[in-house]
Amino acid sequence: MPFAIVVHGGAGDIPDAQRTERAAGIYQAVKIGYDQLATGARALDAVQSAVMLMEDLPIFNAGRGSCLTSAGTIEMDAGLMDGRDLRVGAVASIRHVAHPIAVARLVMDKSDHILFAAAGADAFAQAHGVEKAPLAALLTARRRQELEQMKAAGLVAAVPDHPRAAADTVGAVALDSEGNVAAACSTGGMSMKKPGRVGDSPLPGCGYYADSLIGGCATTGWGETIARVVLARRAVEGIERGLDPQAAAQAALAFLAQRTGGWAGLIVLSRQGQVAAAFNSVAMTHAWWRSDMIEPTVVA
């Protein structure tokens, strides 16, 4: 069986000054996932590893480097899905961990539930031995300055209602050598969001979806509109209806824009290893690596 992985580092208006660092980060992420797949690892482990790496890199909006709420706090969302049996694990508004995606995996493996939120998510993480990460360990000067500038400009909300806004959510979809598909997503949300706000990222079918009989998808962009059309599931359903992955991605994106006026990016991977990426924002950082390729393709 061929194997493959595709990752994204967010859609939106990506400053030129960040592109080199983003390219380096997305390369590291796709490589760690690919290297695992090459040794026979499961797709679920590969997407988790790729996302965890990006959660460590402050250039992305996940884990360290997450956006700040209007209260100056960090609240993160993450989720992943195993296409073998459609199991899901997710966390929302979690505050005190370095790797929200790892806690989401614990939810999948160690609980009877699919999603824990806020204080419940933090308590679940601590009960399972996850080291507590203080705000100082997650906060970066860039995010602090971003919040200060938004407040100085008199902004009272953070609705990214145009495709030039930044959305640095990270995600990954993988196909392993056993033919299994998995998808994962992690984010710090949006700068100046109200405390407690949750977007699409932890919601199965919205920020991510995987079915080993069809394929998988991970999304990024304006979360409120992505959730309204269940964008990740819509793209996978396109493949199920007979569209190739690129056509399925573009059709899902067109539906989003037509019905909600929203903008997004999405990466898609079929069970045959076909890769697709589509976005109606200015740009989307992404990369993919299939077992028939010598090196990955990186788009920053």
Residues acting as catalytic residues:
169
Query: Comparing C-alpha atoms, which of 215, 185, 221 is closest to residue 79?
Result: 185
Residue 117: beta bridge partners?
92
Residue that has been written with the tokens 């989720």 in this structure:
79
Say which residues have a Cβ less than 8 Å from residue 106's Cβ, sequence separation at least 6: 89, 124, 125, 128, 130
Token code pair at residue 2: 């061929």
Q: Torsions phi, psi of 25, nearest 5?
A: -65, -45
Rounded CA-CA distance 191/72 in Å is: 9
Say which residues have a Cβ less than 8 Å from residue 130's Cβ, sequence separation at least 6: 97, 102, 103, 106
Say which residues have a Cβ less than 8 Å from residue 162's Cβ, sequence separation at least 6: 263
Residue 184: beta bridge partners?
80, 172
Rounded CA-CA distance 77/196 in Å is: 11
Residues in the chain: 300
224 half-sphere exposure, CB direction, 13 A CA radius:
10
